[in-house]
A and B are shown apart, each in its own frame.
Chain A
Amino acid sequence: MSENERYSRQMILPGFGLVAQEKLWAAKVLLVGLGGLGCPALQYLVGAGVGSIGIMDADKVSTSNLHRQLLYSETDIGQLKTTVAAKKILEQNAAISIEIYAYAINKQNALQIIKDYDLVIDGTDNFSAKYLINDACVLLNKPWIYGAVSRYEGQVSVFNLGSLNLAQPLINYRDIFPQKPHSGEIASCETAGVLGVMSGMIGTMQAAEAIKIITGIGKPLYGRIFNYNLLEGNIYEIEIVKIKDAPTIDQAFFNTMHGEFDAVIDCDALDIEIEEINTATFIKLRTNPNIFVLDVRERHEYPVIDFSHAQIPMSELQQAIFDLPEKELCIICHQGIRSIYAGQLIRAKRNLKVYSVKGGLTAYFNKVKA
């Protein structure tokens, strides 16, 4: 097959041509996460002829992936995503060079792997990984393309993209969100839900940004964050700036910030079903003498509440499980996500009746106010 024929429809575009095509072929892109964002991004990068692609994911294909991760089929369930993805990519474009990393990004491997690539696409579904990618890219002076979804909304932005004006410090993720949210503070797709087309659009936009950056065509989404609301059909773009009090990311900062990467909870406990109760039921239950109300928010979280019997932050819960009384537990947190994990952590060790307050204090205060 003639390579020029394969790429002819994009090469005839104004401003593209053979020059841009050769830049794509010479480029090395690392894709972290092969889920709802990573799958479409990968398929379009391969289609466009990006010559070298690293794919990184520890997960195996599961049934609940299939509605949005269209690279995978029913027969792939149970297989490593990287293995399946590599096979399908080579069917799509055999000349592409693929590097497989069948494990999660972490503090130990991030710098070592990212240093060999020109840019990173973030297809991850958690803040630990996003902050790790950001901090590693800042240290290594590499651009990265952020993408994320929240129900029917999606965000895209490019961070740390160098320009000719090297004197100007580059904008990174910590300029807009200096601190990583706590686990459970912001819902994931697993708990909040997502439409396949939503992550598909955002992942495809990330691939588009990668193509623009590599070839130098157009204007990258650097210094602005793009927000798309699928239900409303609205786009809202915000110009972002370098802030004065954003943390300086150096090697020492990197080492301190990414210590807590290991999961608090082991995988078996994640299968334990925790009964959720709504705010109205919680209000009735909480005065019952057999009920113990446990607040699992961290100590700095507001507002302070006066109706819990104890506050044991999620980060300290593991050590305190055997101090809990022989009562039925109503666990409450910010949004009702951490409280489920806390319930699972407790149930894995103690035979207590456990309820999680659905919607957490957010739902509670909305109900009380109404």
Chain B
Amino acid sequence: MKILFFGSLTDVIGEADLCLNGIADTDALQQFLKAQYPMLSSAKYFVAVNQKMISENTLLKPSDTVALMPPFSGG
């Protein structure tokens, strides 16, 4: 599946997107990412699956696109 990062999260990850497989759901995905990129733990963002924001743990399929979207404040 494809994981997209926006705004300041691209600095945390070092990339704007990643391809990952074998991750069951969005909770497991976030756990995996936070272990790889410790700074993600203190970042604020919401998660979307296939361009729809999620508010609870969501099962993932290989064809899904997950987005981690932080708030921006610049003007």
Contact = CB atoms under 8 A, between A and B. Distances in A.
Contacts of A185: 42-44
A125 to B, nearest CB: 4
B46 interface: yes
A186 B12 CA distance: 12
B71 A181 contact: yes
A186 B75 contact: no
Nearest to B12: A362
A237 interface: yes
Contacts of A38: 75
Interface string B56-71: 0000000000010111
Contacts of A125: 73-75
Given A186-B70, A225-B69, A236-B6, A362 B39 contact: yes
B41 interface: yes
Contacts of A181: 44, 71, 73
A240 interface: yes
Given A176-B53, A237-B51, A301 B75 contact: no
A120 to B, nearest CB: 14
A227 B69 contact: yes
B4 interface: yes
Contacts of A366: 14
A76 B44 CA distance: 38
A237 B50 CA distance: 10
Contacts of A127: 71, 73
Contacts of B37: 365
A193 to B, nearest CB: 9
Nearest to B44: A181
A236 B74 contact: no
Interface in A267-317: 297, 301-303
Interface of A: 33, 35-38, 123-127, 130, 147-151, 153-155, 176-177, 179, 181, 185-189, 192, 194, 199, 225, 227, 232, 236-241, 243-244, 297, 301-303, 334-335, 359, 361-362, 365-366
23 contacts: A36-B75, A38-B75, A125-B74, A127-B73, A130-B71, A150-B6, A151-B7, A153-B6, A154-B72, A176-B46, A176-B71, A181-B44, A186-B44, A227-B69, A236-B51, A236-B67, A238-B48, A238-B52, A238-B69, A297-B42, A303-B39, A303-B42, A365-B39
